[in-house]
Chains A and B, each alone.
Chain A
Amino acid sequence: MSATTVPNPTTWDRVRTYSPASRYLPVVATFALFIGMFGFGGISYQGFFDWQVFLSLLLDNSFLIVLAVGMTFVILSGGIDLSVGSVVALSTMIAAKTMEMGWSPYLSMATVLLVGTLLGTLMGVLVHYLDIEPFIATLAGLFLARGLTYLISKNSIPITDETFVELAFASITLPGGYYTTWTVVIALATVVVAAYVLARTRFGRTVYAVGGNEASAMLMGLRVAVVKVGVYAISGFCAALGGLLFALYTLSGYSLHAVGMELDAIAAVVIGGTLLTGGRGFVVGSLLGVLVLGTIQTFISFDGTLNSWWTRIAIGVLLLVFVVVQRLMTRRQS
C-alpha cells in the first residue's frame, strides 16, 4: 500500500492507511452489515443487546449454518446444490423412522450421515462424469430425496428416543449465566473445520482453482474429478448433518420439513460474499450471511407489528443488493 513509500511508517500511519485485501472486502461488508443491524436492534428494541439473543440466533439457525457451509463448497467450485432442503427433510425422516423402529440413536445418526453423503456423491458423479448441469443433477436429487421422504411416511413422526431427546435439551452453561446447546457447538465446529480445509489443504485450494477456471485446473494436473465429486459429497454430508440438527431442534421427522431451505442456504452464501460464478469466497462469510438472515427474523419477532412474510421480502432485497454489488465489482475488474 501507500505505507511502503513512507520511509519509516509509524504505527498510526499503518493503522490509518490500512485497507483489507480486496478479496476480504465482501466478508468485511457482511460483517459490518451484521454489526450495524445488531446495533440498530439494540437501539430500537429493549432487551435486544443481550448475549443470550446472539446465542439464540446461533441456536435457531445452527442447521442453516451447516447447510450454508456445504453450499459454500459447491458454489466455490462453480456449481449449485438445490437438493439440500429435501435432504434435510429426508434426514429428519430417516432419523425419526429408524428410532421409532428401535434402532440405537447412534446407529440411526450414522445411517443419516451415510445416506446424505451417498446422495451427494451420486449427484457429483452425475455432474462430473456424465456432464449433466449441476442445476439439473441436483434437481433430480431434490425430487429423489423428497420422494423417498414421502415414501417412508406421509405423516409427521415424533422422536421420543431418550438419548436423542436428552441430547436435544442438554445445555452448556457458559460463564456469566448464559447457556447454549450442542447443536451450536457442532455448527461452529463445522465452520472451523470447513474453513481449515478450504484455506490450508490441497483439496481446498483445488476447490478454488476449479471454481476459477476448470479447464486451467485440469491442465495444471489438479485432481478435478475428486474435487467436483467431493464438493457434492461434502454438501450432502452437511445437509444430512443439518438435518440431524433440525431433528434435534424440532424432535420430529416430517416430509414437509425444510421446504425451500436450499434458497435460504444459497442466499446466505451470496450475502456472505461468495461469488456465484465460483472461485471466490469464504466459509466465514457464509456464517455471517446466516447470522444476517437470522437477525432479520429476530427483528421481526421482536417488533411484533411486522408480519412473518416481511422476512422473505427482506431476504430478497438483501440478496438483490449483494448480487448487484457483486456484479458491479466484477464488471469493474474485468
Chain B
Amino acid sequence: MTDTLDRAPAPEEQAPRPGPVSRLLGHQLLWPVVAIVVMLVIDVIAVPSFLDLRVQDGHLYGNPVDIVRNSAPVMLVALGMTLVIATRGIDLSVGAVAAIAAAVACTRIVESADEGAASAAILACTTALAACVLLGVWNGFLVSVVGIQPIIATLVLMVAGRGLAMLVTDGQITTPSNDAFSGLATGFVLGLPIAFLIALGMVVLTAVLTRRTALGMLIEAVGINPDASRLAGVRARTITWTVYVFAAVCAGMAGLIIAANTNSVNANSLGLWIELDAILAVVIGGTALTGGRFSLAGTVVGALLISTLVRTIPSIGIPSEANYLFKAFVVILVCLLQSPRARAALRVRGRRAASSKAVAA
C-alpha cells in the first residue's frame, strides 16, 4: 500500500507467494470497493427497487446507469489529475477550465449558422478542446519552465478562469439547442450512456499509453525526483508540461459533458468544486499526493464511489445538500488510512492488543 517501498521486509512478507485471500485483503482498492458495495446494500434496504434496470427504447435505465453516467465528469477530471499528482503536482484550475470549455462550445453552437446541425456541435467541441490545450500549455509553462509551485501556478488560472469564461459568454447563461451536443450527456450507444463510454475510453487509452509503454514509469520517475530523472536522461520538463495539457483536455471534456447534460452553461457555477471532487477521487484511489505512484483503476473506483455517495444520500432520505458533510468524512477517513503516522499508531495498538492477548493465553 502506501508504504511498501520504505517498509523493511518483515519475515512473514518474505514468504514466496502470499495466498489469494491475504493478497485480496492487502489490495489498496479493497476498502473503496467495500464502501461502494456497502452503500449499494444500504440503498437496496432503503429502496428495494434501487438496483432495478429496465430497458426502454433499447436503452438501459435505472439507478446504476445514472450512477455510472454521473460519474463521467469527475472520472475525466480525476484521470487528468491522477497523472498531474503522479508528477508531484496538482491542478486547481480544472473547474475553471471546464467552465471555459463549456462556455466556448456553447457560444460557438449558438453563433453558428445552423444551430441544430451535428457539424456545428463537432466544430464547437473541437474549438473548445483546442482552447483547453492552450490553457494546459499555459499551466504547464508556469510549472515546468518558470518553476512556480504547481498549487500556485494553477491558482492563477483558477482565479482568472471563471472571469475568462464569463468573458466568452458575455456573462449570460448560454443555452444551445443542439441534439448532437446534448447527446454527449444523455445519449446511449449499445445501451450504455455515451458520457460514461467517453470517460471509460479515455481511461483505457491512458492506461494503454502509460502502462504498455515506458511513459507511466517516466511520469512516476519525475514524481519521485525531477532532478534525478532529468540527470538520468528523462525529459522531465516535457513530461510535466504534457501532463498539464492532458489534465486541461480531460477537464474540458468534463465541462462539455456537464454543459450538455443541462443544455446550458453558467460560467459562475459550472464545474464548481469539481477540482476538489477530482482530488478526492484520486486520493480514494490510493494515489498519494506526494507523487511518484499512480493507480488509474483506483481513480475509476474513486469517481464511482463519489457518484454512488451522491446518489445514496437522497435515496436514504437525507437532504442531498448534506453530501458535502459526507465528503468531508470520506476525506478525513481516507487520509487517516493513508497517513503513515496514523497507521503506525494503529499498528502499535494492534500489536499491543495481540501481545496482551498472547500473555493472557
Contact = CB atoms under 8 A, between A and B. Distances in A.
Given A139-B279, A151-B321, A276 B327 contact: no
A324 B159 contact: no
Interface in B325-360: 325-328, 331-332, 335-336, 339-342
A313 B276 contact: no
B90 interface: yes
A130 B147 CA distance: 29
Q: Which of A133, A308, A320, A324 is packed against the most chain B CB atoms within 10 Å? A: A320
Interface in B221-280: 267, 272, 276, 279-280
A132 B339 contact: yes
B6 to A, nearest CB: 14
Nearest to A311: B163
Interface in A267-310: 267, 270, 276-277, 307-310
B304 interface: no
A97 interface: no
B174 to A, nearest CB: 14
Contact of A327 (B147, B267, B319, B336): B147
B159 A319 contact: yes
Interface in B113-153: 142, 146-149, 151-153
A313 B339 contact: no
Contact of A140 (B90, B164, B335, B340): B335
Contacts of A55: none
Interface stretch (A23-31, A141-149, A199-207, A240-248): A141-149
B319 A137 contact: no
A197 interface: no
Q: Which of B90, B142, B147, B328 is packed against the most chain A CB atoms within 10 Å? A: B328
B109 interface: no
Given A154-B321, A310-B163, A312-B160, A143 B341 contact: no
Interface in A130-175: 130-133, 135-137, 139-144, 146-148, 150-151, 154
B34 interface: no
A315 interface: yes
Nearest to B288: A133
Contacts of B289: 133, 135-136
A144 B324 contact: yes
B335 A126 contact: yes
Contacts of B90: 135
B197 interface: no
B283 interface: yes
Q: Which of A139, A255, A276, A311 is packed against the most chain B CB atoms within 10 Å? A: A139
Contacts of A259: 272
Contact of B328 (A131, A140, A311): A140
A147 B163 contact: no
A276 B152 contact: yes
A317 interface: yes
A320 B157 CA distance: 9
A129 interface: yes
B167 A313 contact: yes
A317 B160 contact: yes
Contact of B331 (A143, A307, A316): A143
* Band of interface residues on A: 35 or more
Contacts of B155: 263, 266-267, 319
A309 B276 contact: no
Contacts of B158: 263
B164 A136 contact: no
- Secondary structure at the B interface, as helix, strand, loop or mixed, is helix
B210 interface: no
Contacts of B156: 316, 319-320, 323
A234 interface: no
Given A130-B335, A130-B336, A132-B335, A139 B276 contact: yes
A147 B342 contact: no
B146 A327 contact: yes
Contact of B152 (A140, A270, A307, A309): A270
Contact of A309 (B157, B162, B280, B322): B162
B324 A131 contact: no
A126 B332 contact: yes
B323 interface: yes
Q: Which of B152, B166, B341 is packed against the most chain A CB atoms within 10 Å? A: B152
A332 interface: no
B153 A312 contact: no
A307 B171 CA distance: 8
Interface string B278-295: 011001000001000000
A331 interface: yes
Contact of A130 (B159, B323, B339): B339
A308 B267 CA distance: 13
Given A136-B331, A309-B167, A150 B159 contact: no
Nearest to B276: A139
A320 B158 CA distance: 11
Contacts of A126: 332, 335
A218 to B, nearest CB: 15
A229 to B, nearest CB: 15
Given A80-B151, A148-B325, A316-B163, 8 more contacts: A130-B336, A136-B335, A139-B331, A147-B321, A150-B325, A270-B152, A277-B149, A308-B171
Interface of B: 90, 142, 146-149, 151-153, 155-164, 166-167, 171, 267, 272, 276, 279-280, 283, 289, 319, 321-328, 331-332, 335-336, 339-342
20 contacts: A126-B335, A135-B90, A135-B289, A136-B335, A139-B279, A140-B332, A142-B328, A143-B325, A144-B324, A147-B322, A150-B321, A150-B324, A151-B322, A154-B319, A277-B149, A308-B166, A309-B171, A313-B167, A316-B156, A316-B160
Q: Which 8 A-B pairs have the closest CB atoms?
A: A316-B160, A147-B325, A312-B163, A147-B324, A150-B321, A309-B166, A144-B328, A143-B328
